Amino acid sequence: MANGARDDGSPARPPHVAMLATPGMGHLIPLAELARRLASRHGATATLLTFASTASATQRAFLASLPPGIASLRLPPVDLSDLPRGAAIETRMSEETARSVPAIAEALTKMKETTRLVAFVTDIFGTDAFDAARAAGVGRRYLFNPTNLHMLALLLRLPELDATVPGEFRDLAEPVRLPGCVPIPGSAILSPLQDKGDPCYRWMLHHAAGCREADAILVNSFDAVEPEAAAVLRQQQEPGRPPVYNVGPLILTETDTKSSPRAACLEWLDRQPARSVIFVSFGSGGALRTEQMRELALGLELSGQRFLWVVRSPSDQGAVSDNYYDAESKEDPFVFLPEGFVERTKDVGFLVSSWAPQIGVIAHEATGGFLTHCGWNSTLESLVHGVPMVAWPLYAEQHQNAVMLAEGIGAVIPVPEPKRKETVAGVVKELMAGEQKGAAVRATVAELQKAALEGLREGGAATTALAEVVEKWAT
């Protein structure tokens, strides 16, 4: 029974949705937001399943802040000690899911006994968990793509690209052209596809096949940000491809950061003029090399603009995604800044170590720009709040996001290569105050903001798409 009352006259239990968030705040945050929307608009409850490997303080605090109808359950640890030390994050996340299938099946089976479990949702790296959902007899299985339609188009075409691209993507003379998508230079294609000999490449192919096992694919994007890709996916219903629903932008709401004590960086923003500050952040895991960090610092100083920078210790010894699992700096990041920088910029700059209440910062009226790694959550948060961006992508699908945002709709100004203090200062100034590109990007982002908010209203595209998905629970 979907709605109404049970046979004995008691009210029906609310529909319950189990969601598997593979490691990374960029997966957990939008899934939690999906849970919130299902709760507030459709009376559902949800359980977020998380992995033992990411029980960071940041994640714990986030889970603790969720409303009562959204529970979380940490899966038991699995042994990953056989993986090489340098194994890619995509390999780690995929292995952890595959090895957790029995535990996920058990958790879902128990959940079925105590809730009206209607659906299971996983992000892209968790497709093996569809086996667990099937074993537990969960009626509907959805893939949640926390990035965009460009990424989905790439994933859906991956088997074909694997068969036809002879060498490495980065060596391609021509950009990769996918239907409805901005042509992406091979070197900007998703980073786990850049080395065919690395196990993470095989894992992506595996997930590309896994996508097709879903009853539907929910994407955290909206039509205005990639209109042609949206049109193509809607028109072309290829056999074997699940229906695709654009349910975004699902982002954290600002109220989440209104708890006390108010962060010092927000208090600092309170004292700055409207739209005068550029926020600088590389997501939950991004870290720069020392040299790049210095050029960025000196570039911000040279730009003369106010800035708020989330600083992480550099990544010289490891990968640019080094902090991905815990979002926390490995060392005191401030000691790596150029000598005298902190003192010279103390009147215009504010530095935060490792983690800031980003949504509060972006929503603040003093914030007028965002120098971002182009992680998709950060991008959506910026668009929803009408904040134009400078693009400094690092890994994952960030480079292709930057291309699509720059060349597709013109919502970002990329930092030109080589990234030097002069180039950084130039693009930061242009974004904040420039009359050419800067003005165009600011106007485009204002339009995208309107479209994003429109879609989330009653009757808007995202709201309607999610309602269509939910309607099927009754059948």
What residues between 362 and 401 interact with ligand UDP by CB under 6 A?
Answer: 375-378, 381
* Tokens coding 125: 């790296």
141, 30, 28, 15: which is closest to 69 by C-alpha?
15
- Tell me if residue 270 is catalytic: no
396, 107, 422, 130: which is closest to 295 by C-alpha?
422
Name the active-site residue from 7, 8, 27, 316: 27
Let me know the angle formed at the C-alpha of 168 by 164 and 169, rounded to the nearest 5 degrees. 80
Closer by beta carbon to ligand UDP, 186 or else 285: 285
Task: Please state the φ and ψ torsions of residue 323, each to the nearest 5 degrees.
Answer: -95, 10
Shortest Cβ distance from residue 332 to ligand UDP (Å)? 16
- Alpha-carbon distances, residue 80 vs 33, 85, 103, 203, 273 (angstroms): 29, 10, 15, 16, 49
SS (H, E, C) 28-74: HHHHHHHHHHHHHHHCCEEEEEECHHHCCHHHHHHHHCCCCCEEEEE
Asked if 16 and 138 touch (Cβ cutoff 8 Å), the reply is: no
User: Which of residues 283, 299, 368, 393 is near ligand UDP by CB under 6 A?
Assistant: 283
Name the one range near ligand UDP by CB under 6 A: 137-145, 178-186, 197-205, 350-358.
Answer: 350-358
> Does 192 interact with ligand UDP (rule: CB under 6 A)?
no
For residues 142 and 129, what is the distance between their CA atoms, to the nearest angstrom? 11
Closer by beta carbon to ligand UDP, 131 or else 381: 381
Closer by beta carbon to ligand UDP, 279 or else 336: 279
User: Which of residues 50, 284, 382, 401 is near ligand UDP by CB under 6 A?
Assistant: 284
Name the one range near ligand UDP by CB under 6 A: 159-167, 234-242, 279-287, 404-412.
Answer: 279-287
User: Which of residues 119, 143, 269, 310 is near ligand UDP by CB under 6 A?
Assistant: 310
Closer by beta carbon to ligand UDP, 396 or else 461: 396
For residues 440 and 16, what is the distance between their CA atoms, to the nearest angstrom? 45
Shortest Cβ distance from residue 9 to ligand UDP (Å)? 44
User: Which of residues 18, 38, 176, 356 is near ligand UDP by CB under 6 A?
Assistant: 356
- Alpha-carbon distances, residue 432 vs 252, 274, 439 (angstroms): 25, 12, 8
- Tell me if residue 322 is catalytic: no
- Kindly list the catalytic residues: 27, 123
- Binding residues for ligand UDP, rule: CB under 6 A, are 24-26, 29, 252, 281, 283-286, 310, 355-356, 358-359, 375-378, 381
